[in-house]
Chains A and B, each alone.
Chain A
């Protein structure tokens, strides 16, 4: 029963996801620009928060997908999981870049600098470098190269396991320096509502993008497999 429901949802993903993403993104934009009240201290630039914070969650979500898909690559040797991992890594890198960019734009008027060597910022930057390294390493070999897929999976797993240690180390590292102080009480209800709309919108967008990428990667793998088979037939 559950299995059938899940399969039905999965089968309808291309009809369901695009309008859902469109509507929720629109709601997020209207919410952030119109509905949410102007923040008293930070002013208009605070509205970036409604994209920034959900993107940060999406960036970790994509990392989780990369990690579990990589485990599945090593476990099952199924290259479809490799396609999923690559797709999630691309989307993860995208959202990490969005987080860094919106953070820098927000930081300039609020902190007075685009970039501060705060623990969280540094950790995010390193996460971006790990995503990039993974994509670079994987892009050097063919999609159908099973050994390269396993190497990339190992790289992703190491990156995922290393990330908590990286976070801890930059946390300790920063204790020597003054921390940028962000005055933050509890969010008032309208802001919280807009934040949740943004969270839903960005998560759906991430899921849709990952699904699209994985589908495209899977198709590309099939094409190159078929091409290789056709070449062999011609050679015979």
Chain B
């Protein structure tokens, strides 16, 4: 147990020391929101129908960028092989990476929500929205982190990861956009979207944690 905690602590420390990685993802998120406001002319009277889509596409794109480098440094430095030899459960290696990515992405998303609140004159930092975004983030970070293990092996990973991840994340995107729309009062609650988000988060967390040891085994 203490070994697992040590791994998680190591990943959080790496997250802090390698600020450039997720700060560039944060910058990318900010620029994506700005690009959307130019492309869709979000300065119209009522931007709110467009906001859920803008927010979630930004989250997913920033997420794949932030997650794509999850294992790169470990593999380049050769520490990943050492970690695999260490008497730590493989699942702990995965959980450490997921927690680090989660912390980074939640920070980015809160920043985007604050930025959206200012730019679009709509209150986006509400408890309901934070719950929706949080649950959705757990769902996509768990899956994308698992898929990013390929990143350590292939040169064209930056392109490959979104190509692999985004089709699988379609339910999450739909549910996230709809739930956000309901929270912003722009669409009717047509289905239990938050429940779908939660189901997706649970299955991607459990499934990925079970499958991760099989992927990294040498």
Contact = CB atoms under 8 A, between A and B. Distances in A.
Interface of A: 74, 126, 129-130, 133, 136-137, 140-141, 147-148, 150-151, 153-155, 157-159, 161-162, 165-166, 168-170, 172-173, 175-176
A150 to B, nearest CB: 6
A137 B171 contact: no
B154 interface: yes
B190 A176 contact: yes
A126 B160 contact: no
Nearest to B193: A172
A159 B165 CA distance: 10
B211 A129 contact: no
Interface residues of B, number: 34
Interface in B140-181: 143, 146-147, 149-150, 153-154, 156, 160, 163-164, 167-168, 170-171, 174-175, 178
Interface stretch (B43-51, B106-114, B196-204): B196-204
A151 B150 contact: yes
A129 B214 CA distance: 24
13 contacts: A130-B168, A133-B167, A136-B163, A137-B160, A141-B153, A147-B215, A150-B217, A151-B149, A154-B211, A158-B168, A159-B168, A161-B203, A166-B168
B218 interface: yes
B154 A126 contact: no
Given A130-B167, A154-B211, A168-B171, 9 more contacts: A129-B167, A133-B163, A140-B154, A151-B150, A154-B146, A169-B170, A172-B174, A172-B193, A176-B188
A172 B191 contact: yes
Interface of B: 143, 146-147, 149-150, 153-154, 156, 160, 163-164, 167-168, 170-171, 174-175, 178, 187-188, 190-191, 193, 196, 199-200, 203, 207-208, 211, 214-215, 217-218
Contacts of A130: 167-168
The 9 A-B residue pairs with the shortest CB-CB distance in the complex, in nearest-first order:
A169-B171, A129-B167, A172-B191, A133-B164, A154-B211, A165-B171, A169-B174, A173-B174, A140-B154
Contacts, number: 80
A155 B207 CA distance: 11
A136 B168 CA distance: 15
Given A140-B154, A140-B160, A157 B211 contact: yes
Contact of A165 (B146, B164, B191, B199): B199
B174 A170 contact: yes
B143 A158 contact: yes
A166 B170 contact: yes
Interface of B is mostly: helix
A126 B167 contact: yes
Nearest to A157: B211
A74 B190 contact: no
Given A154-B211, A161-B203, A165-B200, A172 B190 contact: yes
B175 A147 contact: no
A161 B146 CA distance: 15
Nearest to A134: B164
B160 A169 contact: no
Contacts of B170: 126, 166, 169-170
A146 to B, nearest CB: 9
A162 B168 contact: yes
A172 B170 CA distance: 12
B193 to A, nearest CB: 8
A155 B203 contact: no
Q: Max chain A CB contacts within 10 Å: which of B160, B170, B188, B217? A: B170
Interface centre among A162, A170, A176 (most CB of B within 10 A): A162
